[in-house]
Amino acid sequence: MLSQKWRLQIRAINGGCGSFSFKSILNFSATATKKAQIQNADMVNYLLDSLGFSRDAAITTLSKVPHLRPSPEKVDPIVCYFQNLGFSKTQIRSMVSGHPRLLCRNVDKTLVPKLNFFRELGLSGSGLRKVVVQCSDRGLDTFIKPRVLYLRQLLGTDDNVVAVLNRDSTVLKFLDAERVDTNVKLLRNYGMTDDNIVKCITNWPRRFFTLKPGGIKDVLHRVENVLGIPRESAMFRHGVAVLASLDRSKVDEKLGVFRSFGWPESVILKTVRSQPLILTKSAPTIQKVVDFFMNELGCSSDFLGSNPAFLTYSLEKRVKPRNEVLKILKKLNKKKAALSTVLCMSESKFRKCYVLPYKVILPDMCDAYLTKTEIPTIELR
């Protein structure tokens, strides 16, 4: 039983209409819940019909923004805007799935200014889409512009800024100017030119922006004292970029692949010093490449250590197709050349010398080679 005091207070709250009405509160709650369910059902159907979501995917996406309660009326202008920019349903669905808050943005106040800013900067296609989505909840004047200005000053040109954003669309979120300035100073102290520093950053922005100064110091020490690459070497910046982008365990795993084939430590280090970018390949890929050269082609570790660039070529797009062409031509006594010679050729020169002259008499060989080495062109809207 409620005390007289509480009865009086509740009566006052209810405008003096008697005892506290729990029923009215329950009715209000039920009405609100029902309204939310109807609204949610409408949004599920909208995502199904407009963007091709599955029912489960639509429900999962909406469950991530329950408090925002997007509605078809609010979301449709957003979808139409992206469609008018040339984004496909698949692309919009992907953006919404990964960033459901996009459903609740204001087109004119939030999306249009940011899109225009990044387009004027030089972003387009998938790079533009990713950056806008990543920054959809960040202020243009308070967050985005100051960071882009810093990157422009650091990297020198808008093209370099665009390259960094295309490489990693989340860069602006984790950019720490003070840390980056300290890291750049450390690189300069090791003799790296600003041009080489910019190249390192544009290729591996996340690691250079997130590594603490102690991490950069460790990388510089290992490049010089473990890999043995001198500071004045043209390969020094590549060594820094590679080790900065990899954990120690990954580097050890990849070096272990060479050891598993019986390579002496001196040859391994010679190879890595000459072509540190070899370590950007995964351990399984290095395994396949070394296995093919040694067990299929009969190359020795000394030979590969003296020609480390061979290990950086694509096995499926370059090495194997060119090897097949040479085998056919040698078998028919049409042309003789060492694989080591033709591997270094540009694609256009190899086709001109070893493929196109035989298009009439060896059409199958030519078609097979051109099919295997064709690089599809990806059009970005």
Residue-wise pLDDT for 189-239, tens only, equals 999 999 999 998 998 898 889 899 999 999 999 999 989 999 999 899 999
pLDDT the model gives residue 91: 87
- What are the structure tokens assigned to 343, written together? 């591997």
**Residue 373 domain flag:** yes
Distances (CA, A) of 81 to 87, 108, 116, 129, 141: 9, 10, 13, 12, 22
pLDDT the model gives residue 377: 33
Amino acid at residue number 190: Y
**Residue 246 domain flag:** no
Q: Kindly tell me if the per-residue pLDDT of 50 is higher than 90.
A: no
pLDDT the model gives residue 188: 94
Model pLDDT for residues 123-169, shown as the tens digit of each residue: 998 888 889 888 888 899 999 999 999 999 999 999 999 999 999 99
Q: pLDDT above 70 covers what percent of the chain?
A: 87
Instruction: Give the Cα separation of 333 and 351 in Å (integer).
Output: 18
pLDDT the model gives residue 243: 93
Please check whether residue 102 is in contact with residue 129, taking contact to mean a CB–CB distance below 8 angstroms: no
**Residue 376 domain flag:** yes
Q: For residue 4, name the pLDDT band (cuts at 50, 70, 90).
A: low
**Residue 23 domain flag:** no
Helices (H), 105-212: 112-121, 125-134, 145-155, 158-167, 171-174, 177-189, 194-203, 205-210
**Residue 329 domain flag:** yes
**Residue 319 domain flag:** yes
Residue 328: domain span = 313-381
Lowest model confidence (mean pLDDT) among 7-16, 283-292, 311-320, 346-355: 7-16
Identity of the highest mean pLDDT range in 39-48, 101-110, 234-243, 287-296: 287-296
**Residue 285 domain flag:** no
pLDDT the model gives residue 6: 43
- What are the structure tokens assigned to 26, written together? 């329950």
DSSP codes, 236-305: HHHHHHHHHHS-HHHHHHHHHHHHHTT--HHHHHHHHHH-GGGGGS-HHHHHHHHHIIIIIS---HHHHH
DSSP SS3 for 188: helix
- pTM more than 0.85: no
Residue 235, C-beta contacts closer than 8 angstroms, at least 6 positions apart: 229, 273, 274, 275, 276
* Count of domains for the chain: 1
pLDDT the model gives residue 378: 30
Q: How many angstroms separate the first and last alpha carbons of the chain?
A: 70
**Residue 46 domain flag:** no
